[in-house]
Amino acid sequence: MKRTGILDSPLHPGKCPPWLFQRMKRLGGLIGKAVIEEHGERELLKRIADPLFFQALGCVLGFDWHSSGLTTTVCGALAEGFREQDLSVRVLGGKGLRSRKTPEQIRALSREWNLDPLPLEKASRMSAKVDNALVQDGHQLYHHSFFLAETGDWAVVQQGMNQHSRTARRYHWLGERVSSFVVEPQAGIAGKPAENVLDLTAREGEDNRKACLDVLMEGEYKKMPDRHQITPADLTKGDIEFFERVRRLEPNDYEELVAVRGMGPKRLRALALVAGIVYGAEPVWRDPVKFSFAHGGKDRIPYPVNRKVYDENIRFLEEALDRVKGQEKKRAMKKLVQLTLAD
């Protein structure tokens, strides 16, 4: 049975206290090591790409279950914890300006692990653009974490913010299940449902995506009608000139169209709406959003973090990973993962 639900992530002020973050990165690194040793890198990425598992992991690490800060703090803790454990999965990018360093970090790690950086850079760039421009739900991305395995497998966790509603929305991607960057590519989207969401990735919107290319190549955008949710302000003279330049590039498909630098939410929306009028291929207006406490939470919800229990659990994991060998180690690790990471 497919699990669905609603996650309410209000924007919360404040920072994670240092004493908690230090424990989060240690425990997060050990959990990552446990999953890799028992199941491999791909399973760890699969779990990270599951919004429900990721939320539960944040709760296990002691962060607030309903805070927008869970995403950024957990990703930050895993980035440091995985690096300290020298795992074969690393977390690149991050919040704000750190997200812009992702391509550079991908290239550096690809040299170290002998990977081709080009498809990985594309995955990072397109995942951010899709969630910002094709899923128009009012949330502006401000966090992008790229999970890269030594095998070349990848996952993405990124988060957007809606200043008006004071809520956040989290987007999860798993590289192995992405057959197209523009057709329902996310593994899951966690957040509170919203109205008037334009989903240009909807599977049933294929006719509209094809029609967008026709609108562009036929120059139909020059005849912007004053109706059907389109206003004269939707396209400026600069937008028209931009479309003319894109026409000369002759994109082969919708993904190439979306990938063009400067093709943002407003321009994609305009093409989609004109395509609906001219060709009768209506875009899809539907929110694609699809979607525990072990140590308490930093805001004392449901109870204060028990530092003694937290430290004991960290020591237990460290000893379990270091002490047992062979079959005994496999049995212990299996039980350990079942106890701490059951989803």
Q: What's the pLDDT tens digit per position in 296-333?
A: 445 454 446 667 766 776 776 777 667 654 555 556 55
CA distance 110 to 149: 10
Question: Which residues, listed in sequence order, are joined to residue 155 by a DSSP beta bridge?
Answer: 147, 174
CA distance 59 to 294: 7
Question: Which residues, listed in sequence order, are joined to residue 149 by a DSSP beta bridge?
Answer: 89
The residue ranking higher by pLDDT, 334 or 196, is: 196
The residue ranking higher by pLDDT, 163 or 112, is: 112
- In this prediction, residue 192 carries a pLDDT of 83
Q: 81, 28 in Cβ contact below 8 A?
A: yes
Mean pLDDT of the chain: 85
Place of tokens 């009012």: 138
Q: What are the angstrom distances between the C-alpha of 180 and each of 72, 183, 220, 259?
A: 27, 6, 26, 13
- In this prediction, residue 65 carries a pLDDT of 55
Place of tokens 């999953």: 35
- Nearest CA to 100 out of 135, 126, 76, 124 is that of 124
- In this prediction, residue 8 carries a pLDDT of 53
The residue ranking higher by pLDDT, 14 or 72, is: 72
Confidence of residue 286 (pLDDT cuts 50, 70, 90): very high
Instruction: Name the H helices within 180-302.
Output: 206-218, 237-249, 254-259, 265-279
Question: Helices 237-249 and 265-279 sit at what angle, rounded to 10 degrees?
Answer: 80
CA distance 6 to 229: 29
Q: What confidence tens digit (pLDDT) does each residue in 40-52 have?
A: 999 999 999 988 8
Q: What confidence tens digit (pLDDT) does each residue in 165-224 have?
A: 888 899 999 999 999 999 999 999 988 888 899 999 999 999 999 999 999 999 988 776
Q: What are the angstrom distances between the C-alpha of 51 and each of 33, 56, 70, 146, 216?
A: 20, 9, 12, 15, 36
Place of tokens 């502006």: 140
Report domain extents, the chain.
Answer: 18-198+289-341, 203-279
Q: Residue 28: is its pLDDT beyond 80?
A: yes
- In this prediction, residue 293 carries a pLDDT of 36
CA distance 39 to 17: 32
Give Cα 329 distance to the centre of its chain: 33
Confidence of residue 1 (pLDDT cuts 50, 70, 90): very low
Q: What is the mean pLDDT of residues 233-242?
A: 83
- In this prediction, residue 64 carries a pLDDT of 66
CA distance 113 to 118: 14
Q: What is the mean pLDDT of residues 5-23?
A: 71
21-30, 46-55, 137-146, 309-318: the lowest-pLDDT one: 309-318
- Percent residues over pLDDT 90 in the chain: 62
